[in-house]
Amino acid sequence: MKLDISKIKQVRLKESQFFAEESLKNQIYLHHTAGSGNAEAVSRYWNGNTERIATAFVVGADGLIVQCYSSKHWAWHLGVGDKEFKAQGVPYKNLNKSSVGIEVCNWGYLKEKGGKFYNYVNAPVPDSMVTTLDTPYKGYKHWYKYTDAQIESTRQLVEYLCETYNIPSDYRSEIFGLDKEAFKGTPGIYTHNSVRKDKSDIYPCPRMIEMLENLK
């Protein structure tokens, strides 16, 4: 299926907030925001920082895709340096520059107290927005739900980017942990977990995995 352009809204960052330098892309990294479902608010927040930390796209809870800058350009979105590369026995390379980042609006891990669920800022979460994993991931069993609209928009966007930049779409379960292939710059789809042990985005949601397994 082609990318539904009606789902895309341009909420562009100021040129001082990203690097307007075209670069070849061979990887896609999936993140989640650890915040609310408003994709436009994420872009506005990034416009207020001075560190050029951002991703090209943000997918809201309603499936809206906000484009912050051209996918040909880049910004810092991985937070990895020499230390992480040395630990993998791989020479440093700027993966931010050779990848496209996608943020999915999501609160991330949840805590259960007295039969109720709360996000990390202690706001209550309705049961309908809870995904419970069979096996805890990074110490947590309960996670905020990726909506059906988000998963569908993410699917369309990833397929579009894979086709545009000739990036292989094969699913590998290793992407939910430190993945040497990511550090090596091997073309493919990864998560923030692939290069950061301290991150948990995106988490291994069965519905998200099913989508990734069936990419065209």
Residue 200 CA: distances (Å) to CA of 102, 133, 138: 15, 14, 7
Provide the token pair at 39: 């994709």
Q: What is the pLDDT of residue 166?
A: 97
Give percent of the chain with pLDDT exceeding 90.
95
Provide the token pair at 215: 């990419």
Mean local confidence (pLDDT), 108-133: 97
Provide the token pair at 11: 């909420």
Model confidence over 185-205: pLDDT tens digits? 999 999 999 999 999 999 999
Q: Distance (Å, rounded) from C-alpha 197 to C-alpha 179?
A: 10
Provide the token pair at 183: 């550090």
Give percent of the chain with pLDDT exceeding 70.
100
Domains of the chain and any CATH numbers? 5-106+146-213 (3.40.80.10), 109-145 (no CATH)
- Asked whether the beta carbons of 208 and 48 are under 8 A apart, the reply is no
* Coil vs helix vs strand at 40: helix
Q: From the centroid of its chain, how far is CA 45?
A: 17
For the question of whether the overall pTM of this predicted structure is more than 0.95, the answer is yes
- Residue 50's pLDDT band, with cuts at 50, 70 and 90, is confident
Mean local confidence (pLDDT), 104-133: 97
Lowest mean pLDDT among 46-50, 93-97, 165-169, 176-180: 46-50
Q: Distance (Å, rounded) from C-alpha 171 to C-alpha 133?
A: 19
Radius of gyration of the chain (CA): 17
Q: Distance (Å, rounded) from C-alpha 93 to C-alpha 82?
A: 9
Provide the token pair at 81: 């340096």
DSSP state of 151: H
Q: Which residue has better confidence, 5 or 146?
A: 146
Model confidence over 140-173: pLDDT tens digits? 999 999 999 999 999 999 999 999 999 999 999 9
Torsion of CA 124, 46, 22, 208, to 10 degrees: 0
Per-residue pLDDT for 107 more than 70? yes
